[in-house]
Amino acid sequence: MLQKLQSSTVVSLSQTVSYHRHNHHQIVISLSGQSEFGIDGVTSLVYPGLGCFVMANCDHTFVGVGDNELLVINLPPVFTDNNQMEQRITQLFSRSGYFNLDNQSQRLIQLLSLEMKASPDDELLQQACAMTLLCVLHRHFKIPPRDKQSQRIDIDIIDNYIERNIHHKISVSQLAAIAFLSESQFYALFKSQIGFTPQRYILQKRLQLAKQLLQESQLTLADIAQICGFASQSSFSQAFRRLCGISPARYQHSFYNTVIIFD
What mean pLDDT do residues 31-53 have?
86
Please name the CATH architecture into which domain 200-256 falls.
Orthogonal Bundle (1.10)
Of 43-47, 140-144, 155-159, the range with the lowest mean pLDDT is 140-144
- Residue 77 has a pLDDT of 60
Residues belonging to the chain: 263
The Cβ-side half-sphere exposure at 147, using a 13 Å CA radius, reads 2
What digits encode the pLDDT tens for the residues 182-241? 788 899 999 999 999 999 999 999 999 999 999 988 899 999 999 999 999 999 999 999
pLDDT for the residue numbered 149: 47
Lowest mean pLDDT among 12-21, 103-112, 224-233: 103-112
pLDDT of residue 229: 94
With bands split at pLDDT 50, 70 and 90, how would you rate the model's confidence at 6?
low
> Looking at per-residue confidence, does 259 or 74 come out higher?
74
DSSP designation for 56: T
User: Taking residues 15-40, what's their average pLDDT?
Assistant: 89
Domain layout of the chain by residue ranges: 7-141, 200-256
Instruction: Tell me the DSSP string of 4-26.
Output: PPSEEEEE---SS-EEE--SSEE
pLDDT at residue 2, rounded to an integer = 37
CATH architecture label of 7-141: Sandwich (2.60)
What is the C-alpha to C-alpha distance for residues 193 and 128, in angstroms, rounded to an integer? 41
Could you say which DSSP state residue 207 is in? H
pLDDT bracket for residue 68 (50, 70, 90): very high
Global confidence as pTM: 0.65
Highest mean pLDDT among 41-55, 113-127, 173-187, 221-235: 221-235
Same fold? 7-141, 200-256: no
pLDDT single digits (tens) 71-106: 998 887 665 555 666 777 777 777 777 887 777 888
